[in-house]
Structure 1
Amino acid sequence: MLISSGGTMDGAAVKLLGDPLRARIVRLLASEQMCTCHLIEETGARQPTISHHLKILREAGFVTAEPSGRFTYYRLSPQAIRELASSLLDLADQADRAQRLRRPCD
């Protein structure tokens, strides 16, 4: 689960949403599989920067890699995105219920 029972995002979700370049990489990979050279071309970022963000996304389970000859293609994991979306919906439901609750002050 990407959102803890306390309602806070854990590290995996923050890693997906916490950086504009990573978010852009995720949007690009939602459309098609790409190798690092494609991501460099699309974003204008340097190779070490793209590789760093791909590593974070892979470790968080949002991206998988598949070697193809001398290139490696990256793809977005639909299941990981669905789990995140489900966790966010649960959080929204919890927030709806909280609209009726108010802790009294002492």
Structure 2
Amino acid sequence: MSLTYKKADPLIHGAVKNLTCITRVDKQPHHEEQYYYIFWVSHINKVHISGGLNKNDVIERFKISAKEFDDKLELNEFFCKVCNKESNTAFSSLAKTGDKTCIDCLNK
């Protein structure tokens, strides 16, 4: 079976191979709706970030369901899912692979 790719961000050259996670942008007082950052891997295995999109934009551009949006949404993106400690490496792993595990837990 061949992979299908989606062209989701017109500002980035490349098609979406894997949407790894969605995180919230800090809500500004002058914004009525919530905006999100989307981390994804392109067809050449390069990690990208797209931002400034509301939930409907994310669902439409990335061709995902509302359930998949909720599954990919990370509210505590800097906390390792194994040890629950704050870690930049947990976030880095999440953005690259979709697995929110810190380097300390991976090395155990």
Normalising by the residue count of structure 1, what TM-score does the alignment of the two structures yield? 0.31
Normalising by the residue count of structure 2, what TM-score does the alignment of the two structures yield? 0.31
Structure with greater strand percent:
2
